[in-house]
Homo-oligomer: A and B are copies of this chain.
Amino acid sequence: MNQHRQDIDKEPLPVTGAWREGDDPGERHFLDITGGRPFPLEGGGLLEKAVLAYETWGRLNATASNAVLVCHALTGDSHAAGEGHPGHSGPGWWRELIGPGAALDTDRYFVVCANVLGGCQGSSGPASVEPVTGRPYGSRFPQVSIRDNVRAQARLASHLGITRWMAVVGGSMGGMQALEWAVTFPDRVGGLIAMATTASASAQQIAWSAAGRAAIQADARWRGGDYYDAPAGEGPHEGLIAARMVGMIHYRSDEEFNRRFGRASVERLDRFTLDHRFDVERYLRYQGEKLVRRFDANSYLILNKAMDLHDVGRRRGGNRRALSRISGPLLSVSVSSDFLYPRYQQMEIVDAVAESGCPVEHIDITSDNGHDGFLTETAQVAPGVTDFLNRLEKDSEIT
């Protein structure tokens, strides 16, 4: 970790970690989903121009029946698989699950992942240039929702010639998108893999999210959201770091922190000062500083709020009725030590979908990695995903 940290410390901090026009596109493709007509948003307002940055792996077959959509979590992006590349912050975030011979086998499936609207890695978000003003949106970027993102991704699907995904897959905020996909467009989703997620954000999830937002908004360098013109290094980094620290604690678990850090100390404890750091503090700060280099504080606010607004039952007569629309089979995954998206919330989804007569499987991951277990415990997830996709593939050949 020290070497990483030293490397990171060498580079000056940008105002935002967002990918911006003119930066190396890396593996990204871009699609303006508006086609010249403004994109209306669920919660009011429009996007004059709405670009999705997306990546694909594998080949779409002749019948377009082998397409799998991967939806990313809060700080994820389109770079779900593959190696690192100068245009990306690192190698694919789900590369253990996606690739040749992997569970999402790119020799067999055409895998697609798009950065969300409101994000900051190539899709339209607060750091993007607002067409009307020619300047970054900042505080003027409208509040998008998970449903907006699903509608945007549906346009991408049409553009790619995919009328029906073999499967839509995601965890956490990605799981919210997967659920919304299957409820909004039941005919366009063959099967659904939803991990460590919820049908609607709970009060405690909203609370965590609000605490993180409060930390960012308490940072004077946030400037009400309009900080992009500030000198380099003068972004709301300290606020975003504090928010990320809050996040990292509930992405992980008590057990893991005890095992990895315990009470080990960076500085010797022969003199007590406020600046003294325990190892766990250095770890959290390191994670925060890493995020500042690849993320945007406004996107953090907008996407956290989108997750708070997530409620699959909104204007659909409640969660149960909404989930009964789902027509394809569901593979559900939860993590034993996840206290951010506790198992009971995942089981509410399982129960509602099962009640409506859909085939449902559930995998309990045993892990002390907490919420992040859906990302880290590939060995426990991959066999179930492989089997599930094999069956979907067979079904799609039969029909």
* Residue positions of A touching B, CB distance < 8 A: 41-44, 142-145, 200-204, 206-208, 210-211, 213-215, 217-221, 238-239, 241-242, 245-246, 248-249, 253-254, 257-258, 260-263, 269-274, 276, 278-281, 284-285, 288, 301-302, 305, 308-309, 311, 314, 339, 342
Contacts and interface: CB of A to CB of B under 8 A. Distances in A.
B218 A273 contact: no
Given A200-B263, A214-B242, 19 more contacts: A43-B272, A44-B271, A143-B272, A144-B272, A203-B280, A204-B253, A204-B258, A204-B280, A206-B263, A211-B242, A215-B239, A215-B242, A218-B238, A218-B239, A220-B220, A272-B305, A272-B309, A274-B302, A276-B305
B145 A206 contact: no
A359 to B, nearest CB: 29
Contacts of A281: 206-207, 210
A210 B220 CA distance: 20
A142 B275 CA distance: 11
B262 A203 contact: yes
A220 B219 CA distance: 7
Complex copy number for this chain: 2
Contact of A245 (B210, B261, B273, B274): B210
Contacts of A288: 214
B214 A245 contact: yes
B203 A260 contact: yes
B210 A238 contact: no
A42 B272 contact: yes
A254 B204 contact: yes
Nearest to A247: B211
Q: Which of A260, A274, A280 has the most CB of B within 10 A?
A: A274
29 contacts: A41-B272, A43-B269, A43-B272, A143-B272, A143-B274, A200-B263, A202-B258, A203-B260, A203-B279, A204-B253, A204-B257, A206-B263, A206-B278, A206-B280, A207-B245, A207-B257, A207-B284, A210-B245, A214-B215, A214-B238, A215-B218, A215-B239, A220-B221, A263-B311, A269-B309, A272-B305, A274-B305, A278-B308, A339-B339
